[in-house]
Amino acid sequence: MSLPGLLHATDWGRAPGHERILLSWVHRRGFEQLLHQAVPEEFDPTLYGQKNSWRLATRFACTLVRWTSDVDVHGKTLGHHTPAFSLRGPAMRQLQEVWVERVEDRTGWVAAHRGRPSELELPVVRPYRCLKGELPGLLCRPIEGR
């Protein structure tokens, strides 16, 4: 999920249960491992011939991915999608114990920019380039019709 998407989804850190905004620095190798093991949360017949195969994959996957419409800092849809990942089991443990380099509390920064989104300096969104070859199809494009 992009930073503007996160800010929008959490109502700029005001949504119940989402009052803290943390920035996690993750080692690239760990992030790429998550990308390569991700299974889509929604059935895609081009990746899984049968729904039963997909259900089995999602049941045992440690990393799930769902595509969400990306938004700008004002909540306006941008016309492209961004992946949001859900981790469980071994992937979550590895993230916590191995891949996270550091965590910064950005709650104050978000509060300081609340109401002034136009002042944010955001990086340009670019396609992610993997160190080792191509990503599986599920991470190259969202499911059609979204």
9-27, pLDDT tens digit by residue? 899 999 999 999 999 999 9
pLDDT score for 72? 87
Q: How many domains does the chain have?
A: 1
Structural domain for 14, as ranges = 3-120
Residue 138 within any structural domain of the chain: no
Rounded CA gap, 120 and 24, in Å? 19
Burial label for 95, CB within 10 Å (0-12, 13-18, 19+), is buried
Rg of the chain over Cα atoms, rounded to whole angstroms, equals 16
Give the chain's residues under pLDDT 70: 131-146
pLDDT score for 19? 94
For the chain, the 3-state helix, strand and coil shares in percent, each to the nearest 5, are 35, 25, 45
